[in-house]
Structure 1
Amino acid sequence: MLSTPSKDPLILFYTAFFSKPVDIASIHCDLSGQWTLDKRRLPEAAAVVFHIPNFREIGDAWKYPGQFWVAWSMESRSNYKRIADPKIMRHFDFTVTHERSSDIWAPYLPRASWWEEVRATPIAAKTEAAPAVLFQSAILNHSGRVDFVRELSHHIRIDSYGRHFRNRTIEGPDLGRKTKIDTVARYKFCLALENSSETDYVTEKLFDAFNAGSVPVYLGAPNVDEFAPAGSYINAADFSSPADLAAYLRHLIDTPDAYEAYFAWRSKPLPEALAQRLQELESPVFCRLMKFVQQQKEDHPVRPAGRPRLPFGPRSYVSTRLRKWTKKVPN
């Protein structure tokens, strides 16, 4: 027999988000529907969300007829190659990623209210002797940022607070992101260096620099211009070498008017293309996911009959179960 699912869709988050459960209590959405972490409700779920970086948790999942599987990742393909593996991705019906081509677009791009708050915040005095600051903890280097920093540091002073290249330490209590923003605010330039140079992969590194009132020196996505106002950042790709870039930074230091021009965007309306993107993102990502699932249910109102299957096979099922049992991970 064919069964008709309940009117309000249930979305199950099957995996952790890195080491933590997804915080479904923080999801605020006016749409009807439910979110759950309870794997016992897998058979009734309209959609099941899997965080691809936690791929080792997926192997024991059964897929029920008519159920939508959603691949979720905000990481670069270089760091998590499974998102680009067609043998793996064929088991998922939809994607939620930072890539513009995803079914549900989930970029790092802050919402419109954030931009307004940043524009209204006064620029802090630049009190540090070094002109540039860096926060980098991971050694991931698909963008070539390790060699970039090493060469740039030969030509201009860089204070580095992260685990990588560290030559400065935080003074006083470290309150996480707030301390980072307050620290960056004291520098003229902030090195915003992505670990990968991929289209649409523009992360919080750029936006943290804007938030701090420091001019970002960006290395990463070739289409970064779609994520920030023109003239608001310095693109390392525009220079022939780190030495050439350092010479330009010294020019800006010696020419206050030229440096201040990088903050002119704060007194102007955001570019139309960027404003349109922000409007599209005004609804939180999981609300947009729920709306998408509701539309899929309307297009496919009757759930087909049949038995569930193991998309990744019995061997993967057993190994995943053993791994979870060994680590005492809830099933």
Structure 2
Amino acid sequence: MAQDNQGPLVLFYTAFFGRPPPFDTAGCSVPVRLTFDRSRLAEADIVIFHIPDAWEIGDALKYAGQVWVAFSMEASAHYPLWTDPAFMRRFDLIMSHETAADIWTPYLPPMRAWQAAVDRPLPAKTEFAPAVMFQSASVDRSRRNDFALELMKAIRVDSYGRLLRNRDLAGPDLGRQTKLDTIARYHFCCAFENAISHGYVTEKIFDPLLSGTIPIYRGAPDVADFVPAGSYIDVSDFPSPIALADHLRRILKDEEAYARYFEWRMRPLPPFLADRLALVQEPALGRLAAIASSRIAPGSERARGWPSLPFGLRRFLETRLRRLVRTHRQRRSARRAIVSSGGTK
């Protein structure tokens, strides 16, 4: 295995929507080194590519014995390359939320988050509107936007996101905690995924569950494999938004019926969920290193071999040119910003 006593070198080659990738070496049972420096490509043991940022991939050189990993946390409906066999065959391993992935990276909160949630008393429901929604992205492969609009015509929903916004936060927006605290004040929370795909179960449903609010879920057909039974309302059980609104009004008038959605908090987590949480307790980079270990060639062997161009010379040159253009534009924008602010350099 091509590593020193600090563990294999993992290079995250692409951007991650302009943000740091959701990986952490802390807690890995084996040492792992993580870098974002593309100049270290030749010495990297494992190279991760974020497929939604596929424009950056074309100039990557692959060295013999190097393990390439295709990574995405998005629904495949948004990124056709993910289901393109000709494109995906360049990679050795798949890392994603899909249950069939080599390295499974679900949106599941860790066990400690579930435990903390059930240890807290249910929050008081102080808002006049029965339901809340945080939805800002216009991306919509699930027809959630139309559904949300029709539901809002049938029952009051306070919408704090950019989409269908009708309510502002009462105080400063401190990020995720503000969102969770706001959700906790409502009886229900609209949890609508931007695509309907197996395994694509995101924080949309987990945020209200762990905040002490009932999720109204529209999304993955296999959502029942990710959350306790009876803990959420499945939109697919109702023929229309009007029928769903009628159900919400009925259980608001029936305290026992409403309370049944929280009975899961009084019991241990179901075995299937506990098993899944145990499976992902090891950080993703640790699991990746363990799976890739048998495929990694020693660094000396990689140094002797010539690298290949998996995406071809044309794609290599196009990607390099695109990088140069983007870098030039960024530098020009930076210079203009300096000038406009009164700087001299």
With normalisation by structure 1, the TM-score equals 0.93
Closer, same or farther: CA 220–290 of 1 in aligned 2, 3 Å: same
Distance between the aligned counterparts of 1:255 and 1:177, measured in 2? 31
Closer, same or farther: CA 250–23 of 1 in aligned 2, 3 Å: closer
The one-letter code matched in structure 1 to 2:200 is: Y
Q: Deviations over 1:205-245 (max 9, x none)?
A: 10101122110000000000000000100000111111111
Distance between the aligned counterparts of 1:139 and 1:223, measured in 2? 24
State whether residues 95 and 104 of structure 1, in contact with CA within 8 Å, keep that contact through their aligned partners in structure 2: yes
- 1:74 maps to what in 2? 73
Closer, same or farther: CA 36–262 of 1 in aligned 2, 3 Å: same
2:327 alignment partner, SS class: coil
- 1:49 maps to what in 2? 48
2:77 alignment partner, SS class: coil
Q: Deviations over 1:9-59 (max 9, x none)?
A: 221111121102447676442413322222222112221000111111111
Matched, 1:29 2:28: yes
- 2:281 maps to what in 1? 282
- 1:156 maps to what in 2? 155
2:191 alignment partner, SS class: strand
- 1:238 maps to what in 2? 237
- 1:120 maps to what in 2? 119
User: What runs of 5+ residues in structure 2 fail to find an aligned partner?
Assistant: 331-345
Matched, 1:198 2:185: no
- 1:13 maps to what in 2? 12
- 2:338 maps to what in 1? none
Distance between the aligned counterparts of 2:271 and 2:11, measured in 1? 36
CA RMSD of aligned residues (A): 2.1
State whether residues 15 and 21 of structure 1, in contact with CA within 8 Å, keep that contact through their aligned partners in structure 2: no
With normalisation by structure 2, the TM-score equals 0.89
- 2:82 maps to what in 1? 83
Q: Deviations over 1:243-270 (max 9, x none)?
A: 1111110001110110011111111011
Distance between the aligned counterparts of 2:24 and 2:93, measured in 1? 23
- 2:180 maps to what in 1? 181
Distance between the aligned counterparts of 1:87 and 1:154, measured in 2? 46
The one-letter code matched in structure 1 to 2:189 is: C
Distance between the aligned counterparts of 1:249 and 1:194, measured in 2? 20
How far is the alpha carbon of 1:123 from its aligned partner?
A: 1.2
Closer, same or farther: CA 22–218 of 1 in aligned 2, 3 Å: closer
Q: Deviations over 1:72-107 (max 9, x none)?
A: 100001112211111211111111000000000000
How far is the alpha carbon of 1:303 from its aligned partner?
A: 4.7
Distance between the aligned counterparts of 1:239 and 1:287, measured in 2? 42
State whether residues 125 and 187 of structure 2, in contact with CA within 8 Å, keep that contact through their aligned partners in structure 1: yes
How far is the alpha carbon of 1:109 from its aligned partner?
A: 0.7
Closer, same or farther: CA 217–48 of 1 in aligned 2, 3 Å: same
Distance between the aligned counterparts of 2:157 and 2:255, measured in 1? 20
Closer, same or farther: CA 105–23 of 1 in aligned 2, 3 Å: closer
Closer, same or farther: CA 33–140 of 1 in aligned 2, 3 Å: closer
State whether residues 67 and 296 of structure 2, in contact with CA within 8 Å, keep that contact through their aligned partners in structure 1: no
How far is the alpha carbon of 1:310 from its aligned partner?
A: 1.2
- 1:325 maps to what in 2? 324
Matched, 1:99 2:80: no
State whether residues 63 and 308 of structure 2, in contact with CA within 8 Å, keep that contact through their aligned partners in structure 1: yes
The one-letter code matched in structure 1 to 2:203 is: E
What are the equivalent positions in structure 2 for 1:224-235 lying under 5 Å apart? 224-235=223-234
The one-letter code matched in structure 2 to 1:263 is: F
Distance between the aligned counterparts of 1:301 and 1:26, measured in 2? 21
> Equivalent pairs: percent with the same residue?
48
Distance between the aligned counterparts of 2:23 and 2:279, measured in 1? 22
The one-letter code matched in structure 2 to 1:195 is: N
Q: Deviations over 1:262-311 (max 9, x none)?
A: 1111110111111111110111111111222224349x999576321111
The one-letter code matched in structure 1 to 2:237 is: D
Distance between the aligned counterparts of 2:115 and 2:16, measured in 1? 29
Distance between the aligned counterparts of 1:269 and 1:25, measured in 2? 28
The one-letter code matched in structure 2 to 1:49 is: I
The one-letter code matched in structure 2 to 1:52 is: I
Distance between the aligned counterparts of 2:210 and 2:158, measured in 1? 19
Greater mean alpha carbon deviation, residues 170-179 or residues 100-109: 170-179
Greater mean alpha carbon deviation, residues 7-16 or residues 172-181: 7-16
The one-letter code matched in structure 2 to 1:82 is: L
How many residues are matched? 326
The one-letter code matched in structure 2 to 1:227 is: F
Distance between the aligned counterparts of 2:275 and 2:299, measured in 1? 32
How far is the alpha carbon of 1:6 from its aligned partner?
A: 4.0
